[in-house]
Chains A and B, each alone.
Chain A
């Protein structure tokens, strides 16, 4: 054995927490996307560890698709953010407050 599953899950949970922390406390849209990336990544670790636990490849498959989704997220997310930045000149999410 390498480590108990729980330890890998703890690692995943800590990373998830850091991702959330980044997403909710950095006043920067790009950093927010980055934080969400970290969250996705943390899920990947848990999946890989779980795949090892159940000795099947389902978990690893998930990770493969998470990679693809992460890529999509970044491309679409950054596209929107960049175009928004071009219009407003700001990455500060607090500046996006027209809708209310």
Chain B
């Protein structure tokens, strides 16, 4: 086992653990913070997998922007959800059962597949190469995704515009 390999396992363990902790937190702020840890771990893995740009983006966008947005929302609406049934038994037990079956099958599926044990050689995509590649090959998708972002913007705006008090009409 190489050093990087060991590091991978450690990071994987951290990521999984952080995620697992995150999803079981009653306090959503805590959950988000743990999830940020998880995303940091993911970013590290990206880095070792030769995607430094993505690692950075993961930290900036996922851990930074997205999670912060979550935090904003959670804090803005100020809900501690004390009454929340954290993990209702009639939900998590079936979910856990299917989750376990799923894991078994996932293991089976991954190991049964030819070439699954292919070693991951080290190859680093420099941000420059990556950017060139993306722009050369996936300009189309970039255009589309820009449309998506525009859409999200307008959508969020519209939903806000249409926001009304219960009982009053449309126009506020």
Contacts and interface: CB of A to CB of B under 8 A. Distances in A.
Do A and B contact each other directly (Cβ–Cβ < 8 Å)?
A: yes
Interface of A: 1-11, 13-22, 24-28, 30-31, 34-35, 37-38, 41, 44-45, 48-49, 51-53, 55, 57-58, 60-61, 63-65, 67-72, 74-76, 78-83, 85-87, 91-92
Interface of B: 2, 4-5, 8-9, 12, 15-16, 19-20, 22-23, 28, 31-32, 35, 38-39, 42, 45-46, 48-51, 53-54, 57-58, 61-62, 65-66, 69-70, 73-74, 76-77, 79, 81, 84-88, 91-92, 95-96, 99, 102-103, 106-107, 110-111, 113, 115-123, 125, 129-130, 133-134, 137-138, 141, 145, 148-149, 151-153, 155-156, 159-160, 163, 166
A30 B45 CA distance: 26
Given A26-B87, A68-B145, A6 B123 contact: no
B35 A21 contact: no
A15 B106 contact: no
A60 B95 contact: no
Contacts, number: 236
Contacts of A16: 106
21 contacts: A4-B120, A5-B119, A6-B110, A10-B107, A11-B12, A13-B107, A18-B23, A22-B22, A26-B23, A30-B74, A34-B23, A34-B31, A34-B35, A61-B133, A61-B134, A65-B138, A67-B62, A71-B149, A76-B156, A79-B156, A83-B163
User: Which DSSP category, helix, strand, loop or mixed, fits chain A's interface?
Assistant: helix
Given A34-B70, A78-B73, A64 B116 contact: no
Contact of A41 (B62, B110, B122): B62
Contacts of A38: 19, 23, 35, 38
